[in-house]
Structure 1
Amino acid sequence: MTAPPSPEIAAPPAPGGAAIELDRVRRSYGAQIAVRDASLRLAPGEIHAIVGENGAGKSTLLKLAAGVLAPDAGVVRVDGAALWPATPAEAARRGVGLVHQHFMLVGSFLALENVVLGCEPVLRGGRLDLAGARARAGRLMQAAGLEIPLDVPTWSLTVGERQKLEILRVLYRGARAILLDEPTAVLSPLEADALYATLRRLAREGRTVAVVTHRLDEVIRYADHVTVMRRGQVVLSRPAVGWSTDAEGELTRAIMGGEPPPRVERPPLPEGAPAALEIAGLTVIGAGGRRLLDGVTLTVRAGEIAGVAGVEGNGQRELVRALAGLDPRTGGRVAVFGVELSSWGVRARRARLGVVHEDRHAEGLLLDASVGDNLVLGDLGALPRGARGRDAEAALVARRIARFGVEPPDPSRLAGELSGGNQQKIVVARALDRVAPAARGPGEAARAPIRAAAILAQPTRGVDVGAAAVIHAAIADAARAGLAVLVVSADLGELRRLCHRLFVMRKGRIVATLPPACSDEQIGRAMLGLEAA
Structure 2
Amino acid sequence: MTEPPASGVPAPPLPGGAVPAPPLPGGAVIELDDVVLRYGEHVAVRGASLRLDPGAIHAIVGENGAGKSTLLKLAAGVLAPDAGAVRVDGAPLRPATPAEAARRGVGMVHQHFMLVGSFLALENVVLGCEPTRGCGRLDLAAARARARALMEAAGLSIPLDAATSALTVGERQKLEILRVLYRGARAILLDEPTAVLSPIEADGLYATLRRLAREGRTVAVVTHRLDEVIRFADHVTVMRRGQVALSRPAAGRSAEAGERGAEGELTRAIMGGEPPPRVDRPPLGEGAPAALEIAGLTVTGAGGRRLLDGVTLTVRAGEIAGVAGVEGNGQRELVRAIAGMEPRAAGRVAVGGVDLSSWDIRARRACLGVVHEDRHAEGVLLGASVGDNLVLGDLGELPRGARGRDAEAALVARRVARFRVEPPDPSRLAGELSGGNQQKIVVARALDRVAPAARSNARAAIRAPRRAAAVLAQPTRGVDVGAAAVIHAAIAEAAAAGLAVLVISADLGELRRLCHRLLVMRKGRIVVTLPPSCSDEEIGRAMLGLEAA
SS in 2 for 1:429: helix
Equivalent residue for 1:261?
276
CA gap 1:330/1:458 in 2 versus in 1, 3 angstroms: closer
The amino acid that maps onto 1:109 is: F
Q: What is the distance in 2 between the residues matched to 1:129 and 1:395?
A: 61
Equivalent residue for 2:14?
none
**TM-score w.r.t. structure 1 length?**
0.94
After TM superposition, which residue ranges in structure 1, 4 or more long, deviate above 4 angstroms? 15-18
Residue 433 (structure 1) aligned to one of 436, 448, 453: 448
The amino acid that maps onto 2:423 is: P
Deviates more, 1:120-129 or 1:352-361: 120-129
| Residue pair 1:436, 1:450 contacting (<8 A) in 2 also | no
Q: Tell me whether 1:96 sits opposite 2:112 in the alignment.
A: no
**TM-score w.r.t. structure 2 length?**
0.91
Deviations 1:275-329 (A, max 9, x none): 1111111111101111101111111011100000011111111111111222224
Deviations 1:171-206 (A, max 9, x none): 111111000011111211100000000000000010
The amino acid that maps onto 2:177 is: I
| Residue pair 1:438, 1:481 contacting (<8 A) in 2 also | no
| Residue pair 1:450, 1:481 contacting (<8 A) in 2 also | no
Deviations 1:87-144 (A, max 9, x none): 1111111111111111111111111111111112222222222222112111111111
CA gap 1:16/1:352 in 2 versus in 1, 3 angstroms: farther
SS in 2 for 1:227: strand
Q: Tell me whether 1:126 sits opposite 2:151 in the alignment.
A: no
CA apart distance, 1:347: 3.0
Deviates more, 1:461-470 or 1:347-356: 347-356
SS in 2 for 1:48: strand
Deviates more, 1:453-462 or 1:377-386: 377-386
Equivalent residue for 1:3?
none
Q: Tell me whether 1:14 sits opposite 2:29 in the alignment.
A: no
SS in 1 for 2:227: helix
Q: Tell me whether 1:274 sits opposite 2:289 in the alignment.
A: yes
The amino acid that maps onto 2:396 is: G
Deviates more, 1:380-389 or 1:343-352: 343-352
Q: Tell me whether 1:366 sits opposite 2:381 in the alignment.
A: yes
| Residue pair 2:224, 2:479 contacting (<8 A) in 1 also | yes
Q: What is the distance in 1 between the residues matched to 2:327 and 2:504?
A: 11
| Residue pair 1:16, 1:206 contacting (<8 A) in 2 also | no
Equivalent residue for 2:64?
54
| Residue pair 1:449, 1:481 contacting (<8 A) in 2 also | no
Number of corresponding residues: 516
Q: Tell me whether 1:414 sits opposite 2:465 in the alignment.
A: no
% same residue: 87
Equivalent residue for 2:439?
424
| Residue pair 1:236, 1:254 contacting (<8 A) in 2 also | yes
Deviates more, 1:235-244 or 1:210-219: 235-244
Q: What is the distance in 1 between the residues matched to 2:380 and 2:286?
A: 38
Residue 472 (structure 2) aligned to one of 447, 451, 456: 456
CA apart distance, 1:343: 2.7
CA gap 1:151/1:12 in 2 versus in 1, 3 angstroms: closer
Equivalent residue for 2:327?
312
CA gap 1:16/1:314 in 2 versus in 1, 3 angstroms: farther
| Residue pair 2:367, 2:465 contacting (<8 A) in 1 also | no
Within-5 A mapping of 1:62-461: 62-241=72-251, 245=258, 246-438=261-453, 451-461=467-477
Q: What is the distance in 1 between the residues matched to 2:540 and 2:470?
A: 26
Equivalent residue for 2:41?
31
**Where does the alignment leave 5 or more consecutive residues of structure 1 unmatched?**
1-10, 440-447
Residue 466 (structure 1) aligned to one of 462, 482, 495: 482
The amino acid that maps onto 1:339 is: V
CA gap 1:12/1:159 in 2 versus in 1, 3 angstroms: closer
Equivalent residue for 2:8?
none
CA apart distance, 1:449: 10
**Where does the alignment leave 5 or more consecutive residues of structure 2 unmatched?**
1-19, 455-463
Deviates more, 1:132-141 or 1:49-58: 132-141
Equivalent residue for 2:510?
494
RMSD of aligned Cα (Å): 1.9
The amino acid that maps onto 2:495 is: A
Q: What is the distance in 2 between the residues matched to 1:456 and 1:331?
A: 21
The amino acid that maps onto 2:436 is: G
SS in 2 for 1:226: strand
CA gap 1:450/1:218 in 2 versus in 1, 3 angstroms: farther
Q: What is the distance in 1 between the residues matched to 2:386 and 2:118?
A: 30
CA apart distance, 1:478: 0.5
| Residue pair 1:64, 1:76 contacting (<8 A) in 2 also | yes
SS in 2 for 1:260: coil
CA gap 1:150/1:15 in 2 versus in 1, 3 angstroms: farther
CA apart distance, 1:520: 1.6
| Residue pair 2:31, 2:52 contacting (<8 A) in 1 also | yes
SS in 2 for 1:299: strand
Q: What is the distance in 2 between the residues matched to 1:504 and 1:241?
A: 33
| Residue pair 2:21, 2:103 contacting (<8 A) in 1 also | no
CA apart distance, 1:376: 1.1
CA apart distance, 1:345: 3.9
SS in 2 for 1:22: strand
The amino acid that maps onto 2:364 is: R
